[in-house]
Amino acid sequence: MSALPRLPLTVIGGYLGAGKTTLLNRLLSEPHGQKIMVMVNDFGAINIDAALIERADGDTLSLTNGCVCCTMGNDLFMALGDALDRRPRPDHLVIEASGIADPAKIAMAARAEPDMAYGGIAVVVDGENWPKLADDPLIGAQMRGQVQVADVLLVSKTGGALAPNLAVRLAALSRAPLLDLADLPQVAPVLLGGMAPDGVQGGLQGVAADHPAYVGWAHEGAERLERPALEALLAARPAGIYRLKGHVLSPDGALEVHVVGPTIDIKPAQSDSTRVVAIGLASQIDRETIAAWWANAAA
């Protein structure tokens, strides 16, 4: 295995016009401190503040904050390979799936590939048009399918309030947290997680701790869990944790854990301590609840 840290991959799904590009523009301009690589379908739709653009080179935009934005071409998976081979390797890869794509088919690559980490599937749901799209005889099944695989659902165009019937329909399809994009002060914590890029190995400071709307929780210890016990513990995590990641010691070597919404991904790793960070919305969870739950790990 490569000595480089794994490249986390987050996939943004959602139909045409749902607001995926707006979300990416937002992400790229936020002060998240990470060097993100964003791959999009339609380069022309990306509309970054000109002041942020350092260099435009063919189909790659380099930003002053160290992020890059590029097109993926006709072979998405080989483009993933290019991102992995890029030096320095980006801190996080974000892919905009095409409007009709099943984002899980892309995100699954992060679970399969030893050099990648699962960063989850965020599906942008068009608050105005989704119910109509979901009932469309031609594309309805694919629209509902996107919601079914989401780890987090981000609703756009709500006009300030999530329509209850929309929330009910989405909840019937998905266990993923449902967030109104208008309510989110920052999108990076939801899309990337709350840590600085070297968070797992090093510091535990990050965006989550910096913004009052989010709760960040970090833990370092020496607890050792067998894989089944870890899986059971994670399965019993409190609702309201959107993301959790870290290294957990186990009798057969350390495990790297990525939890996004309802999805749990575990891979072998190297670490000399157990270090975990989690993030949720302050309105839904507090640090004490997370700490109390994790205390079961030592029990």
By the 10 Å C-beta count (0-12 exposed, 13-18 middle, 19+ buried), 124 is classed as buried
Q: Assess contact for 277 and 204: CB atoms under 8 A.
A: yes
Q: From the CB of 81, what's the least distance to other proteins, in Å?
A: 5
Q: How far is the CB of 43 from other proteins (least distance, A)?
A: 7
The token pair that represents 230 in the structure block: 């870890």
Which is nearer to other proteins, 114 or 160 (by Cβ)? 114
Determine, following the binding rule CB under 8 A, whether residue 4 of this chain makes contact with other proteins: no
Q: Please tell me whether residue 173 binds other proteins under the rule CB under 8 A.
A: no
132 binds other proteins (CB under 8 A): no
100 vs 295, beta carbon nearer other proteins: 100
CB atoms inside a 10 Å sphere around CB 12: 25
d(CA 143, CA 216): 32
Q: Kindly tell me which of 74 and 165 has the beta carbon lying closer to other proteins.
A: 74
Site for other proteins in 240-279 (CB under 8 A): 265-268
15 in contact with other proteins (CB under 8 A) = yes
Residue 214 backbone dihedrals phi, psi, to 5 degrees: -110, 150
**Which residue, 71 or 156, has its beta carbon nearer to other proteins?**
71
Member of 46, 48, 52, 139 binding other proteins (CB under 8 A): 139
Distance CA 207, CA 178 (A): 21
Q: How far is the CB of 47 from other proteins (least distance, A)?
A: 13
**Cα distances (angstroms) measured from residue 91 to each of 117, 143, 162:** 11, 30, 33
Which amino acid is it at 203? Answer: G
Task: State the nearest-atom distance from the C-beta of 75 to other proteins, in Å.
Answer: 5
- Among residues 3, 50, 74, 87, the one that binds other proteins under rule CB under 8 A: 74
Instruction: Return the beta strands (E) in the chain as ranges.
Output: 7-13, 36-40, 53-57, 60-63, 68-71, 92-96, 116-126, 152-156, 178-180, 214-221, 241-248, 254-260, 263-269, 274-281
Instruction: Tell me: does residue 104 bind other proteins (CB under 8 A).
Output: yes
Within a 10 A sphere around the Cβ of 205, how many other Cβ atoms? Answer: 16
112 contacts other proteins (rule: CB under 8 A)? yes
Positions in the binding site for other proteins (CB under 8 A): 1, 15-16, 41-45, 71-78, 80-81, 84, 98-100, 102, 104-109, 111-114, 138-139, 141-142, 227, 265-268
